């Protein structure tokens, strides 16, 4: 089997207190496969830059990109995906800097690509039934299930959830989707799933644990819900077919 060129990409905003711990949790048995770590400091106002400097001494294959001002989650992800695509990554793993998505699951997320069964993989907190046990607030769980039911009906899919940001993309996926034309906001990942469906790409889910601790969330749940509805409406109107 030809060894794949794997990148781990990380959007970071005010992540100085957490990002080092996230890197430390990446399994040793997968580190030899990761050619490059890429972090974009998205206009952080804390000590994120200092934390990245310390990490760069430990990880010589770490690349640091910078936004001088905060541009938002989707914009940060575009910067990372453009870098990965231009550098020829075969598989790009989107890992969040707050520790909410378990780095320990990277080997499981890579398996569908190793077996050529997927073009895009999303970690699912619902698959396996551990969301509530992992501490997902009941209102978020109910909102997740309701939105997912609506999205499955709209998109003609049968996913367990759409709202995890633990995403893994193949080179084929990044080439096929004009992701620079998508949102700069938190629903960028949802639009990537919609575009993957439109482009006929193979999408799989892999169960991941639900982790809620002391992380700081910059996502407004009401605005996020409205953004999801806007994606649904645009899809029903056929707008994503013309991007």
- The answer to whether residue 124 is domain-embedded is yes
> Structural domain of residue 175, as residue ranges?
6-242
Provide the pLDDT for residue 212.
Answer: 66
- The answer to whether residue 1 is domain-embedded is no
- The answer to whether residue 16 is domain-embedded is yes
pLDDT per position as a tens digit, 43-57: 999 999 999 999 999
The H-or-E segment that residue 155 falls in is: helix 138-155
Domain CATH number, residue 215: 3.90.550.10
Distance of CA 121 to the CA centre of its chain: 10
C-alpha to C-alpha distance for 89 and 172, rounded to whole angstroms: 10
Q: How many residues does the chain have?
A: 243
Tokens of 238: 């056929």
At 241 the three-state DSSP class reads helix
Provide the pLDDT for residue 219.
Answer: 66
Count of structural domains within the chain = 1
φ, ψ for residue 152, nearest 5 deg: -60, -40
pTM for this predicted structure: 0.93
Q: Is the pLDDT of residue 1 over 60?
A: no
- The answer to whether residue 79 is domain-embedded is yes
């Amino acid at each position: 089997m030809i060894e794949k060129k794997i990148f781990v990409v990380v959007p970071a905003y005010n992540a100085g207190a957490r990002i080092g711990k996230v890197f430390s949790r990446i399994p040793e048995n997968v580190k030899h496969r990761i050619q490059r770590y890429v972090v974009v400091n998205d206009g952080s106002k804390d000590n994120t830059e200092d934390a990245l400097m310390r990490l760069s001494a430990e990880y010589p294959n770490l690349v640091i990109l910078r936004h001088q001002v905060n541009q938002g989650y989707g914009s940060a992800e575009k910067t990372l995906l453009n870098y990965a695509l231009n550098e020829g990554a075969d598989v790009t793993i989107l890992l969040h800097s707050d520790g909410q998505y378990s780095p320990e699951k990277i080997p499981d997320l890579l398996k569908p690509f190793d077996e050529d069964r997927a073009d895009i993989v999303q970690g699912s907190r619902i698959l396996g039934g551990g969301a509530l046990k992992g501490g997902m607030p009941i209102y978020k769980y109910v909102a997740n299930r309701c939105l997912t039911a609506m999205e499955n009906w709209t998109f003609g899919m049968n996913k367990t959830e759409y709202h995890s940001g633990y995403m893994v993309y193949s080179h084929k996926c990044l080439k096929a989707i004009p992701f620079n034309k998508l949102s700069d906001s938190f629903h960028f990942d949802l639009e990537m799933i919609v575009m993957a469906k439109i482009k006929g790409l193979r999408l799989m889910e892999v169960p991941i644990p639900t982790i809620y601790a002391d992380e700081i969330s910059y996502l407004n749940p009401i605005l996020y819900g409205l953004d999801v509805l806007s994606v649904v409406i645009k899809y029903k109107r056929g707008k994503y077919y013309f991007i």
